[in-house]
Every structure is written in C-alpha cells, then in structure tokens.
Amino acid sequence: MNFQSSENILLTGAGFTKNFGGLLASEMWAEIFNHEKIQAQTRIKELMSDDFDYESIYYNIIEGSYTNDEKEAIDDAVKFAYEYIDSILRQFIINHPYPLELSIVNDLVSKFSETGSYSYIGTNNVTHYVFPETSIKSFIFTLNQDLFFERLYPSHADAKLSIPGIKNNSNWFTTHFNKPLNREDYCQLPEEEELNRNADLLSDGNFFLIKLHGSYNWRSFDGSDIMVIGRGKYEQIQKEPLLKYYFEIFENVLSQNERRLLIIGYGFSDKHINRIISKAVKDKGLKIYIISPDSPEEFKKKLCEKSGLGINIWQEISGYFQYSLKEIIFSKNTGKNTAIKQHFYDVFWASLNKI
C-alpha cells in the first residue's frame, strides 16, 4: 500500500452508536439472554448466569461441545440483537426527519475528510481557504457491525463516504435507506483472487468507512455469515480476505508519522487493535484523544485491566474529554454546552476550524 492518509483519524466503538440508541456490551447480553431460543436452552442460560461477556459466550458455544440446536440458538439471538439495534437506528431517522443532533454529528464526521476545503481567519480579518491535496485518503474506522453510517450519514454531505471493496448500495447514506434489510442490502465479500485483480481499492474516492470487524449485513466470500465476535478475532480477520485488507489499511494509516486519533466509544478490549495503536504511539508519534463519560481514573483502570499495553497507551494520551458524545455534539448555542463543544474542537483541531 502506498498512500498518504489525513492527519486526523476517527475510531469508533459501541459507545459511539449508543448515543443514537445502540447497545453497549452489557445491554447486548440482556437482549441475547431474553431471546426465546436462549430461554429454551438450559445449558446456555447456565453459562450466561456466570459470564456477562456476550462475545465470550458466543465463542464458547460456537467453538465448544454444544449441540447444533444450542449453536443455532446463540447465533439467532445475536443476530436478533443486531436487528434490534438496526430497528432503533431506522426509527431514529423516521421520528426525526431533520434531527439537529444528527446533522451535528455528521458535521463532526465530515471534518475527518481532507478532500474538501476549510477556512480560517488570518491577518487583517482576511478569510483564507485551504485546499488539501486530493491524493490524501481520509478514514473512519469502526469496530461496530451496526449500520449507523449507512443509515444516518447523508449522501449530500460535502465529504462523500464510501466502503471500499464491496458494491456500495445506491440507497446507503440516503434517507431512502430507512426500511428493514432486503436481499440487495446483504453483501457477499470478495474472494482473494478478486481483490488481487482490483489491487487498489482506494483508487475510487478519498473518504472511506472501514468496518474492521465486518458488518451484520455482510456474508463471507464463501457465503457463510461473517461476524467477528468472540476470541481469536485476529485469526478470524486473517481468514477473510477483505477484512485482512482492512486491517492492513488500519496498520498502514496509524503507522504514518504523527497522526491524531480520536477514539469514541471503544473500551480497548481487542488486543489486535490495541497492539497497532500502542506500536504507533511508540514508534510513530501517534497522538490519542479520548471522548468518554468516565473519569480519567476510571478510564485508566479499565484500560489497564483490559489491555496489556494499557499503560503505554495511557501515558501517550494527548487529550481527554470527560463527556458523552451527546454533551459535545448536542450542544445548544448558549452557555456551558457551547463552551464544551468549542473547547473540544479547539483542542483536537488546534483551533484551525472554528465552529
């Protein structure tokens, strides 16, 4: 891979979509546990009474000595939980045809693209317009398998977003994509041979959504369901050509010198992700910025418990914003909330882009 990435990069986890009705890990556990097929399986209920990590539960059942009925039950329950999240996202846009908060978060997302122009006020109050190089590639990385961006990021935005390596549905990123999934909304991922024929998947566009763990409406190149859940995620990624390519993009982008990574809603539970972040911090001067409602002390404790690289990552954090995303992006134009939003923009974008 030979490309230059934008300086500012966004990485999202479950806590990002939570602002629009998505589920955190503990809430996923409850939704799965409540499913009728789980309630009919005594051994799964016993397992879930002691293990509250739904990904661990899924892995132990699918890879363990459980019956086909039990494996089918957990598979159906997990899919149902993702369908529930999707129904909430669809209802959000149906109930709010022009939601201000969605417009603001999409403005935030668009700022991670360097394919458009931005302005600042220079000397003598003269407005200067800056046009970044069009060859720069900009990235939104997500660990989520929901359809937040496909459902709620608009195609009319100045920064056009696309998903490399798969055929982008013409309804994605439009208000038309507000109905339950149908046949054409499911994508079978390309085989390795097909990827090799299209060596540069980033040639068509400059602003990309990279779903590192796949999507709940994707199917593997061999036709099977593809959801990277449970232990051994890195090994699962290596078996799926497009996800392997995505991981290489992630590594490439973070390995470029002195990038700035904003992390929203990621709990640092994935060792393969933490390893890349930690290496980039150590070797390439990666700067990390966190949006989290947890106190810094609570966040540090969780980070160091979940990641063997936690101390290394924590020591290199350049900005910490102890707010939920809602408190920043849903700000009113008066008082404290405006100050919170302005402070975040000033720190992360170094006052270049005023709001």
Residue with token string 């700035």: 260
Q: At residue 320, what is the residue type? A: Y
Top-confidence residue, 326 or 36? 36
- Global pTM reads 0.87
- In DSSP notation, 333-353 reads SSHHHHHHHHHHHHHHTTTSS
Angle at 244 between CA 240 and CA 248, to 5 degrees: 175
Q: How far apart are CA 236 and CA 227, in angstroms?
A: 9
Report whether 115 contacts 206 (CB < 8 A): yes
Are 355 and 345 in contact, with CB atoms under 8 Å apart? yes
Lowest mean pLDDT among 93-107, 249-263, 292-306: 93-107
How is the chain split into domains, by residue range?
8-21+98-254
Question: Confidence class of residue 120 from pLDDT cuts 50, 70 and 90?
Answer: very low
pLDDT score, position 337: 63
Residue range 105-119: average pLDDT?
Answer: 71
Residue-wise pLDDT for 121-149, tens only, equals 455 555 444 444 457 899 999 999 999 99
Structure tokens at 10: 């966004």
User: With 70 as the cut, is the pLDDT of residue 330 above it?
Assistant: no
* DSSP secondary structure letter of residue 140: E
How would you classify the pairing of strands 260-264 and 218-219? unpaired
Residues 6 or more apart from 52 whose CB is under 8 A from it? 26, 29
CA 329 from chain center: how many Å? 17
Label residue 25 by pLDDT band (50, 70, 90): confident
Burial of 257 (0-12, 13-18, 19+ CB in 10 A): exposed
Across the range 6-32, mean pLDDT stands at 91
Q: What is the DSSP letter of 96?
A: -
Cα dist from 197 to 2, 84, 147, 192, whole Å: 17, 37, 28, 9
Report pLDDT for 131.
44
Give the percent of the chain with pLDDT over 70.
85
Average pLDDT over residues 173-194: 87
- What distance in Å separates the CA atoms of residue 15 and residue 340, rounded to the nearest whole number? 19
H or E segment to which residue 306 belongs: helix 296-306
**For tokens 């974008």, what's the residue?**
349
Secondary structure class of 16 (helix, strand, coil): helix
DSSP 123: G
CB 300 within 8 A of CB 311: no
Q: What is the pLDDT of residues 42-83, one digit of tens each?
A: 999 999 999 998 988 998 998 899 999 999 999 999 999 999
CA distances from 99 to 102, 176, 287 (A): 5, 16, 32
**What is the Cα–Cα distance from 293 to 323, expressed in whole angstroms?**
4
Query: Residue 355 has what pLDDT?
Result: 43
Residue 326, pLDDT score? 79
